């Protein structure tokens, strides 16, 4: 079925585009350890490509477990001093870092588009979103209050202190190369922890640019370390970050399978853990919903970052009475609004997928659904874009079975299956019938149903009559196999704090 072509005929040289970054000191190829730019001890480097062209954009230091242990030593040494700074001092440094990120947002957005593919306006949105966590935690640093507990004895006084956990090992994904780092690192630094970050091997540039800006802001050496590594070195680096006894906290965003492995490794030294893992978000349109609003929100919720977002709508349930109308309005919007192309081409709002592996998984899920009787009504193919790259059309399907991988697993691609339901009870049962529970969305104007459904959805975050939930002020995280812990909001800093209770005899 035909869709607007977007800007598929636009040729791109990734190297030329990289050269347009005004401040070239933001384009770093080395790791950042103890305030210095360093290569791997092995001298090895790994290739980073632009997913919109498949052209090389650079070769980055490939750190191994030995290199990472040295970064952990640096973070551990720096912890002594950093943990004793006042909250006000940390707040002021974080605020300066935030100002640096915002002052360089155009360059950072371009860099992000080149390494992860998301369209430039969306990348700029992520820079603002990522920076908002630094700003937020610069403010929260001063509010990590303890408690005074009424003692059961007149002769003692009881006080609860909050203290930084120690060195945090942080592992982040490719889909939000800036925001997933700042959401963790800003909370950690605000709490008084130091960090060693392993960014996704597809997207190390944004992470390294954040180091350059942190240094300009005056964040001391050893407090924020970034150790990029190739896919090949990922297992040993992950193991080091989860087993090194000097690390007291592990925070990971990524797939549920990898999260389980990291969690089991971290159990050997009983580290504090935050896991933000995969989802399979239901998006439910009840018969009393505004169809137009629901369809417009679904465009954003499903196709943001070409469907490569943990909180993306994955399964769309529409009430039988409004099903045909919804499908018709939604498919028209998909054809009208989404423009495929390289993220730097003018007018594009739908970019490539990150890897061939991601594309192949999307294709396989699609084929298995079609084999089981699904019908593709928009898209369904790899998109032919002149820049080259990993493009797949935004795809809408109907008649999708409840037991194919597209329904049972997280898609992480631009596939949008629309299912029919007839009762609230039935749809709640289907919505909750998955092992994960990150986000859920529904559309209804019935106040009773709003509370009933919001409370019954087995997820950590619910959008009611809205398809976006992400903000620095609200707690982000899931239930079931979607992980443990919360990021952002006033709760996010607790993940990096230990509670200590004092019983003081008078």
Binding site for ligand SIN (CB under 6 A): 175-176, 179, 253, 309-311, 470, 476
Tally of CB atoms within 10 A around 445: 11
Distance of alpha carbon 495 from alpha carbon 355, whole angstroms: 32
Adjacent-strand bridge partners of 33 = 36
What are the backbone angles phi and psi of residue 166, rounded to the nearest 5°? 135, -145
Residue 468 or 503: the one with the smaller Cβ distance to ligand SIN is 468
User: Which contiguous run of DSSP H or E holds residue 298?
Assistant: helix 291-303
Distance of alpha carbon 458 from alpha carbon 162, whole angstroms: 31
Residue 175 or 194: the one with the smaller Cβ distance to ligand SIN is 175
Adjacent-strand bridge partners of 415 = 395
The minimum distance between CB 128 and ligand SIN, in angstroms, equals 13
Distance of alpha carbon 244 from alpha carbon 196, whole angstroms: 12
The minimum distance between CB 195 and ligand SIN, in angstroms, equals 18
Residue 310 or 453: the one with the smaller Cβ distance to ligand SIN is 310
User: Which contiguous run of DSSP H or E holds residue 363?
Assistant: helix 356-371
What are the backbone angles phi and psi of residue 440, rounded to the nearest 5°? -145, 155
381 contact partners, CB below 8 Å, separation of at least 6: 392, 393
Residue that has been written with the tokens 């009773």 in this structure: 448
Distance of alpha carbon 206 from alpha carbon 223, whole angstroms: 18
Chain centre distance of CA 114: 18
Would you call 276 a catalytic residue per the annotation?
Answer: yes
Residue 183 or 272: the one with the smaller Cβ distance to ligand SIN is 183
For 13, left (φ over 0), alpha (ψ -120 to 50), or beta? Answer: beta
Residue 65 or 310: the one with the smaller Cβ distance to ligand SIN is 310
User: Which contiguous run of DSSP H or E holds residue 275?
Assistant: strand 272-276
Residue 75 or 469: the one with the smaller Cβ distance to ligand SIN is 469
The minimum distance between CB 485 and ligand SIN, in angstroms, equals 13
Strands 439-443 and 395-398: unpaired
The minimum distance between CB 129 and ligand SIN, in angstroms, equals 7
Distance of alpha carbon 489 from alpha carbon 24, whole angstroms: 33
CB 413 within 8 A of CB 383: no
The minimum distance between CB 310 and ligand SIN, in angstroms, equals 4
Strands 436-437 and 439-443: unpaired
The minimum distance between CB 117 and ligand SIN, in angstroms, equals 14
Check 115, 202, 276, 410 and give the catalytic one.
Answer: 276
Residue that has been written with the tokens 């050269």 in this structure: 19
Residue 306 or 309: the one with the smaller Cβ distance to ligand SIN is 309
Residue 79 or 133: the one with the smaller Cβ distance to ligand SIN is 133
Half-sphere exposure for 164 (CA within 13 Å, toward CB) = 29
Distance of alpha carbon 449 from alpha carbon 441, whole angstroms: 13
Q: What is the number of the residue whose Cβ is closest to ligand SIN?
A: 470
The minimum distance between CB 87 and ligand SIN, in angstroms, equals 26
The minimum distance between CB 1 and ligand SIN, in angstroms, equals 28
Distance of alpha carbon 3 from alpha carbon 388, whole angstroms: 19
State the catalytic residues: 276
């Amino acid at each position: 079925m035909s869709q607007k072509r977007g800007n598929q005929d636009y040729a791109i040289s990734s190297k030329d585009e990289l050269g347009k970054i005004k401040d070239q000191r933001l384009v770093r190829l080395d790791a950042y350890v103890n305030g210095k730019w360093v290569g791997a001890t092995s001298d090895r480097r790994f290739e980073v490509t632009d997913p919109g062209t498949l052209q090389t954009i650079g070769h980055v230091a490939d750190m191994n477990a030995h290199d990472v242990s040295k970064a952990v030593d640096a973070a551990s040494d720096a912890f002594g001093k950093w943990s004793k700074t006042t909250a006000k001092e940390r707040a002021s440094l974080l605020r300066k870092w935030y100002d640096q990120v915002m002052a360089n947002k155009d360059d950072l957005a371009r860099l992000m588009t080149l390494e992860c593919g998301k369209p430039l306006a969306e990348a700029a949105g992520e820079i603002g979103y990522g920076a908002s966590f630094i700003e937020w935690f610069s403010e929260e640093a001063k509010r990590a209050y303890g408690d005074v507990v009424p003692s059961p004895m007149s002769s003692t006084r009881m006080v609860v202190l909050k203290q930084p956990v120690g060195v945090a090992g942080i592992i982040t994904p490719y889909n939000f190369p800036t925001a997933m780092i700042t959401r963790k690192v800003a909370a950690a630094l605000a709490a008084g922890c130091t960090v060693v970050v392993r960014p996704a091997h597809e997207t190390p540039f944004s992470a390294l640019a954040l180091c350059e800006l942190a240094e300009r802001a005056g964040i001391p050496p050893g407090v924020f370390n970034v150790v990029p590594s190739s896919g090949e070195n990922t297992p040993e680096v992950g193991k080091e970050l989860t087993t090194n006894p000097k690390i007291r906290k592990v925070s990971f965003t990524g797939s549920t399978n990898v999260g389980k492995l990291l969690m089991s490794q971290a159990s050997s030294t009983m580290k504090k853990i935050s896991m933000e893992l995969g989802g399979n978000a239901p998006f439910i349109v009840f018969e009393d919903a505004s169809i137009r609003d629901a369809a417009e929100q679904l465009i954003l919720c499903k196709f943001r970052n070409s469907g490569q977002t943990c909180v993306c709508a994955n399964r769309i349930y529409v009430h039988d009475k409004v099903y045909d109308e919804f499908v018709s309005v939604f498919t028209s919007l998909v054809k009208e609004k989404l423009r495929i192309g390289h993220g730097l081409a003018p007018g594009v709002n739908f970019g490539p997928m990150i890897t061939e592996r991601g594309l192949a998984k999307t294709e396989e899920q699609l084929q298995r659904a079609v084999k089981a009787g699904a019908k593709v009504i928009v898209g369904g193919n790899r998109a032919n874009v002149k820049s080259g790259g990993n493009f797949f059309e935004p795809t809408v399907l109907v008649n999708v079975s409840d037991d194919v991988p597209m329904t049972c697993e997280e898609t992480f691609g631009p596939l949008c299956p629309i299912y029919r339901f007839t009762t609230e009870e039935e749809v709640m049962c289907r919505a909750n019938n998955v092992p994960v529970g990150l986000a859920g969305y529904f559309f209804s104007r019935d106040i009773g149903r709003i509370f009933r459904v919001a409370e019954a959805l087995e997820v950590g975050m619910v959008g009611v009559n809205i398809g976006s939930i992400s903000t620095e002020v609200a707690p982000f995280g899931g239930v079931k196999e979607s992980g443990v812990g919360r990021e952002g909001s006033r709760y996010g800093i607790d993940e990096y704090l230990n509670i200590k209770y004092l019983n003081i005899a008078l």
